[in-house]
């Protein structure tokens, strides 16, 4: 299926590894020009090489999306070097602090919300004028099933639930500008160097029980499986999908192995 994304300009935060990298590659495979940002230079450089090898224009920028000036600089560079912004993927996420309420502090909660929810707010606010100038755009927030299937680290799940609400609220607000906003909620995704790979190496028996108990297909998801859904959502093939939360979890049960 031709998604009609050729020559669109996409910005993917956290695009150097895992789900973000796979989304960037999927969009490049559809002919998008792609900008990626992340905090670590070495994996960012490797991801950029992969994107350029696919034959599309691509740039990479070291940036911390918790910083307003840094996200503004990334967007400015995207506009200057690639011509604008049509697609934004708010992919950066993570959790700060302990797994329980008593093991986490107010600062842990604030940092977790900053990394997840507020980064999406900042990036969306910065790209919006450029999308309006180009007649519209598409935004996807990468949330998690932790946002609606409770598990440990309440600060993470709460931030992800807020991202899902944000997508719906912004879809209503930005529809007049022809900007669609949706969220995807991946389940547990296995990729090289990721947390689930480390967990399997350190706790093979617990990992096996988790796959058997919570994964109807008997395996975790792949980053590419999330990326394919995202590529569809930002395309005109999904022009009537707005304000949605799309689970990409293989009907997974609980989001945690313990």
Contact 71, 65 (CB under 8 A): yes
Whole-Å CA distances, 216 to 20, 108, 247, 251: 25, 33, 15, 7
| Single pTM value for the model | 0.96
Model confidence pLDDT, tens digit, residues 63-101:
999 999 999 999 999 999 999 999 999 999 999 998 899
Number of helices and strands in the chain (H, E)? 9, 9
Find the mean pLDDT for residues 121-142: 98
Residue 20: its pLDDT value, please?
A: 98
Angle between helices 119-133 and 68-82 (to 10 degrees): 30
Find the mean pLDDT for residues 238-242: 98
Model confidence pLDDT, tens digit, residues 19-78:
999 999 999 999 999 999 999 999 999 999 999 999 999 999 999 999 999 999 999 999
Q: For 23, what's the count of Cα atoms within 13 Å in the CB-facing half-sphere?
A: 33
Which structural domains are found in the chain, ordered by start? 9-237 (3.40.50.720)
Q: Examine the residue annotation and report whether 156 is marked as an active-site residue of this protein.
A: yes
Residue 1: its pLDDT value, please?
A: 74
Model confidence pLDDT, tens digit, residues 139-149:
999 999 999 99
Catalytic site residue from 109, 113, 118, 156: 156
User: In whole numbers, what is the pLDDT of the chain averaged over residues?
Assistant: 96
Residue 150: its pLDDT value, please?
A: 87
């Amino acid at each position: 299926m031709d998604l009609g994304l050729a020559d669109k300009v996409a910005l993917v935060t956290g695009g150097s590894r895992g789900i973000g990298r796979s989304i960037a590659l999927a969009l490049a495979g559809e002919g998008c020009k792609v900008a990626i940002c992340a905090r670590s230079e070495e994996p960012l450089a490797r991801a950029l090489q992969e994107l350029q090898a696919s034959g599309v224009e691509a740039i990479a920028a070291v940036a911390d999306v918790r910083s307003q000036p840094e996200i503004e600089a990334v967007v400015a560079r995207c506009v200057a070097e690639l011509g604008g912004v049509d697609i934004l993927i708010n992919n950066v996420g993570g959790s700060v602090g302990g797994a329980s309420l008593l093991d986490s502090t107010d600062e842990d909660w604030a940092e977790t919300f900053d990394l997840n929810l507020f980064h999406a707010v900042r990036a969306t606010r910065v790209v919006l004028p450029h999308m309006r100038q180009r007649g519209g755009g598409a935004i996807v927030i990468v949330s998690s099933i932790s946002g609606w299937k409770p598990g440990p680290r309440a600060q993470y799940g709460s931030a992800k639930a807020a991202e899902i609400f944000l997508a719906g609220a912004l879809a209503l607000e930005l529809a007049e500008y022809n900007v669609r906003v949706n969220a995807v909620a991946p389940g547990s995704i296995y990729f090289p160097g990721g947390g689930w790979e480390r967990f399997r190496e350190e706790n093979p028996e617990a990992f096996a029980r988790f796959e058997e108990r919570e994964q109807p297909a008997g395996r975790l998801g792949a980053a590419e499986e999330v990326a394919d859904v995202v590529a569809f959502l930002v395309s005109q093939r999904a022009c009537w999908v707005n304000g949605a939360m799309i689970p990409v979890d293989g009907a997974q049960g609980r989001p945690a192995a313990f």
